[in-house]
């Protein structure tokens, strides 16, 4: 990058500096002053762009993928949602990965575990299952399900309908830290160690076993957060309260043992925008992935406006101001790296941002 002084220096000095850079470059040094301001930027400036994936298109591609490869052969039959500004990186924001996964009737996605944390937001289907560390959960549309770091997980579908969900993982973050570990299970499906619903009964009733401590992976002991429960909470907020000017009625999914996010690296949220709601412009430093569960929303940023309907996914990069407008009551799920930024003292937001 050109420095401010560049125009004022003589060609001789310029050439001498270039020779110096080349010489030190051979010994793996580089001059900071040539790139200081592109490293330490005044505001976030990654290549990440606002982008929108329509479900109708995604669903047709998933159908095609379903004919080309089985879930078992693929291990995970997923179409990665690649940010158009960061193609080839398997990233939807610099820190996070998103994909759409499909399991057809009778299929199995075999057991494995990895240091990456994963979340699922169920988009389509009713009654396929995921098993996490020996506990099976049935999945319904709108449910939020977690696969914390280093937990065994396999997915399967004994229903007669395809099952599709949005995957969110901290893949780019773990790659940046060079902390990826993974292994395959010895069997396709795990054996059950606990009955279905066990974790919800132990930890989901505003109680916890008396000596329960946060686990080393700092993830919630609840694996599944049912959409009906989230809807009931949102409805209560909407019945007796005013919506937040930027967020409407917004809840975060939490780890009952810590009060923190359900997983340490990814925060997940659900919000209801009441009929005719128009949000105040808002931005924050956590690039955020949204999925529309109910209704539809017109999203406006300084560069673009688009409409997102049921099961559509869109991403708002760090520090991009955005406004939501809805006609009917709309429910949005979202996830971001906010808990990481908060833990490190980096997270910022600006309300009424222009």
**How far is the C-alpha of 11 from the C-alpha of 252, rounded, in Å?**
58
> Does residue 52 belong to the site contacting ligand GTQ (CB under 6 A)?
no
Give the three-class secondary structure for 325: strand
Binders in 135-164 for ligand GTQ, by CB under 6 A:
153
Please give the helix or strand (H or E) that residue 228 lies within, else none.
helix 227-239
Shortest Å, Cβ 99 to ligand GTQ: 4
On the 0-12 / 13-18 / 19+ scale of CB atoms within 10 A, 29 is exposed
Instruction: Between 141 and 153, name the residue whose CB sits nearer to ligand GTQ.
Output: 153
What sign results for the dihedral spanned by CA atoms 303, 306, 310, 312? negative
- DSSP character string of 40-82: S-SS---S---EEE-HHHHHHHHHHHHHH--HHHHSS-EEE--
> Does residue 167 belong to the site contacting ligand GTQ (CB under 6 A)?
yes
Shortest Å, Cβ 84 to ligand GTQ: 19
Q: Which of residues 77, 83, 92, 99 is near ligand GTQ by CB under 6 A?
A: 99
> Does residue 78 belong to the site contacting ligand GTQ (CB under 6 A)?
yes
Alpha-carbon distances of 81 from 76, 78, 90, 153, 279, rounded to whole Å? 14, 9, 7, 22, 26
**How far is the C-alpha of 33 from the C-alpha of 30, rounded, in Å?**
9
Instruction: Between 167 and 312, name the residue whose CB sits nearer to ligand GTQ.
Output: 167
Give the three-class secondary structure for 22: helix
> Does residue 91 belong to the site contacting ligand GTQ (CB under 6 A)?
no
Shortest Å, Cβ 293 to ligand GTQ: 19
Shortest Å, Cβ 157 to ligand GTQ: 13
> Does residue 76 belong to the site contacting ligand GTQ (CB under 6 A)?
yes
Shortest Å, Cβ 62 to ligand GTQ: 13
Instruction: Between 68 and 182, name the residue whose CB sits nearer to ligand GTQ.
Output: 182
Shortest Å, Cβ 78 to ligand GTQ: 4
Buried b vs exposed e over 144-179: b needs ≥16 C-beta within 10 Å?
Answer: bbbbbbbbbbbbbbebeebbbbbbbbbbbbbeeeee
Local structure of residue 244 (DSSP, 8 states)? B
> Does residue 263 belong to the site contacting ligand GTQ (CB under 6 A)?
no
Binders in 216-255 for ligand GTQ, by CB under 6 A:
none
Binders in 315-354 for ligand GTQ, by CB under 6 A:
none
Binders in 114-133 for ligand GTQ, by CB under 6 A:
114, 118
Q: Which of residues 50, 83, 93, 101 is near ligand GTQ by CB under 6 A?
A: 101
> Does residue 169 belong to the site contacting ligand GTQ (CB under 6 A)?
yes
Instruction: Between 123 and 169, name the residue whose CB sits nearer to ligand GTQ.
Output: 169
Instruction: Between 265 and 279, name the residue whose CB sits nearer to ligand GTQ.
Output: 265
Total residues contacting ligand GTQ (rule CB under 6 A)? Answer: 9
**How far is the C-alpha of 4 from the C-alpha of 59, rounded, in Å?**
50
Site string for ligand GTQ, 4-33 (x = CB under 6 A): ------------------------------
> Does residue 190 belong to the site contacting ligand GTQ (CB under 6 A)?
no
Q: What angle do CA 323, 47, 123 make, to 5 degrees?
A: 55
Minimal CB distance to ligand GTQ: which residue? 167
**How far is the C-alpha of 297 from the C-alpha of 127, rounded, in Å?**
28
Alpha-carbon distances of 344 from 108, 196, 317, 337, rounded to whole Å? 39, 36, 19, 11
- Where along the sequence are the contacts to ligand GTQ (CB under 6 A)? 76, 78, 99, 101, 114, 118, 153, 167, 169
């Amino acid at each position: 990058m050109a420095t401010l002084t560049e125009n004022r220096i003589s060609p001789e000095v310029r050439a001498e500096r270039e020779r110096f850079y080349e010489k030190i470059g051979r010994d793996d040094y580089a001059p900071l002053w040539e790139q200081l301001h592109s490293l330490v930027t005044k505001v976030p400036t990654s290549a990440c762009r606002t982008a929108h994936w329509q479900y109708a298109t995604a669903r047709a591609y998933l159908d095609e993928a379903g004919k080309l490869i089985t879930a078992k052969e693929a291990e995970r039959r997923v179409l990665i949602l690649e940010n158009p500004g960061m193609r080839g990186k398997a990233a939807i924001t610099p820190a996070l990965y998103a994909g759409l996964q499909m399991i057809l009737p009778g299929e199995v996605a075999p057991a494995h575990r990895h240091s990456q944390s994963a979340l699922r937001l169920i988009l389509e289907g009713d009654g396929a299952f995921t098993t996490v560390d020996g506990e099976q959960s049935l999945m319904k549309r709108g449910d939020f399900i977690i696969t914390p770091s280093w937990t065994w997980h396999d997915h399967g579908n004994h229903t007669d309908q395809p099952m599709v969900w949005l995957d969110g993982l901290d893949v780019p973050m773990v790659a940046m830290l060079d902390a990826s570990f993974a292994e395959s299970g010895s069997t396709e499906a795990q054996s059950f160690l606990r009955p279905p619903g066990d974790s919800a009964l132990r930890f989901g009733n505003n109680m916890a076993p008396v000596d329960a401590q946060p686990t080393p992976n700092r993830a919630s002991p609840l694996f599944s957060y049912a959409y009906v429960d989230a809807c009931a909470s949102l409805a209560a907020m909407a019945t007796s309260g005013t919506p937040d000017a930027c967020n409407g009625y917004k809840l975060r999914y939490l780890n009952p043992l810590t009060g923190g996010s359900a997983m340490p690296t990814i925060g997940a949220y659900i919000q209801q925008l009441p009929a005719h709601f128009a949000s105040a412009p808002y931005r924050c430093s956590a690039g955020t992935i949204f999925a529309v569960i109910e209704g539809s929303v017109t999203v406006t940023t300084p560069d673009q406006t688009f409409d997102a309907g049921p099961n559509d996914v869109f991403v708002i990069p760090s520090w991009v101001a955005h406004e939501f407008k809805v006609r009917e009551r709309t429910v949005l799920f979202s996830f971001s790296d906010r808990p990481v930024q908060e833990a490190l003292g980096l997270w910022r937001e600006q309300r009424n941002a222009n």
